[in-house]
């Protein structure tokens, strides 16, 4: 009942919306307007297509414009790829850039000296909780798969050796760990997040890049696949 009353009330209000009684829609002039607007839109579409065709023809017809267009295209593609690479914060796939850094005892460690082995290269820091979670896993992998040709390498981005040494002693890490002042991280692209872990195959190519805390089983699966 209440709904019926509301319905009637609203209908009464809307009934006031009546156009002027003397006005009648003018169909012939409406039809003329419709035809003229349709024709104008068709002309605009044709004009745009013709302009695009003319532009393409001009570019393709002259060697100078063709070369210029090719360079513009290359530059656009190159920039887009650089930008997307930056935002993915992943190093480009391909050969792992070589580097040499001293380990905790001062001995130089060179990445290329591990060619022929599967390398897990982990960028980490003592102040990064997920990194601290992962380091003991890598120590375990280093022990478990070492005999099959696997090696773990840690590159700490801490500001000094002091906190790194303390942490390594506490966690009993035996794989080579180095401290980087930013040069090696720079070689591997923009590491926007820690931990960043790369898997490098026996030929020295980066095959996997992980950013952030990853499931332990995921690492195990990937390492075992590479060792097979």
Partner 1 sequence: MAAAAPTPRSDLEAIFDAQYAPIARAIARVIRDPGRAEELAVEAFLKWRPGHTTGWLYRTGVRLALDELRRQARGERYRGFLGWLRTPPPTPEQQQSSGEEQERVRTVLGSLNRRDAELLLLRNEGLAYSEIAAALEMNPASVGTLLSRAQQTFRKEYVRRYGKP
Binding site for partner 1 (CB under 8 A): 3, 6-7, 9-11, 13-14, 16-20, 23-27, 29-31, 33-34, 37-38, 41
Half-sphere exposure of 21 (CA within 13 A, CB side): 1
To partner 1, the closest distance from the beta carbon of 38 in angstroms equals 7
Check: CB of residue 108 under 8 Å from CB of residue 187.
no
33 versus 71: smaller Cβ distance to partner 1: 33
Kindly state the smallest distance separating residue 171's Cβ from partner 1, in Å. Answer: 59
Q: Are strands 205-211 and 94-95 parallel, antiparallel or unpaired?
A: antiparallel
d(CA 190, CA 224): 28
| Least gap, CB of 47 to partner 1 (angstroms) | 18
Cis before 11 (ω within 30): no
| Pick 4 or 217: Cβ nearer partner 1 | 4
Q: In the complex with partner 1, which residue's Cβ is closer, 30 or 95?
A: 30
* CA trace torsion 44, 46, 52, 55 (10° rounding): -100
Q: How far is the CB of 159 from partner 1 (least distance, A)?
A: 56
Q: Which is nearer to partner 1, 38 or 192 (CB)?
A: 38
Cα 25 from chain centre: 58
Nearest distance from C-beta of residue 29 to partner 1, angstroms = 8
Give the DSSP letter of residue 124: E
CB 88 within 8 A of CB 210: no
Pick between residue 12 and residue 215 the one whose CB is nearest to partner 1: 12
Angle at 227 between CA 224 and CA 228, to 5 degrees: 90
Q: How far is the CB of 15 from partner 1 (least distance, A)?
A: 8
Which residues does residue 102 pair with via DSSP β-bridges, in sequence order? Answer: 108
Closer to partner 1 by CB, 18 or 105: give it. Answer: 18
């Amino acid at each position: 009942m209440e709904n019926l009353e509301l319905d009637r009330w609203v209908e009464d209000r809307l009934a006031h919306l009546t156009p002027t009684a003397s006005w009648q829609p003018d169909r012939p002039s409406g039809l003329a307007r419709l035809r003229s607007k349709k024709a104008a839109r068709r002309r605009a579409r044709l004009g745009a297509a013709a302009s695009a065709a003319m532009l393409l023809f001009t570019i393709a017809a002259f060697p100078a414009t063709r070369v210029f267009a090719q360079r513009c295209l290359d530059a656009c593609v190159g920039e887009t790829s650089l930008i997307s690479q930056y935002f993915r914060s992943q190093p480009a796939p391909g050969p792992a850039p070589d580097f040499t850094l001293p380990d905790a005892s001062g001995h130089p460690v060179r990445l290329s000296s591990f060619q022929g082995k599967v390398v897990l290269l982990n960028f980490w820091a003592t102040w990064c909780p997920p990194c601290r979670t992962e380091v003991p896993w890598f120590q375990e992998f280093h022990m478990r798969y070492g005999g099959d040709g696997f090696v773990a390498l840690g590159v700490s981005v801490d500001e000094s050796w002091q906190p790194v040494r303390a942490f390594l002693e506490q966690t009993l890490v035996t794989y080579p760990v180095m401290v980087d002042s930013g040069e090696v991280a720079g070689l591997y692209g923009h590491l926007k997040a820690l931990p960043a872990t790369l898997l490098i195959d026996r030929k020295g190519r980066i095959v996997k890049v992980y950013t952030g805390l990853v499931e332990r089983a995921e690492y195990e699966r990937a390492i075992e696949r590479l060792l097979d």
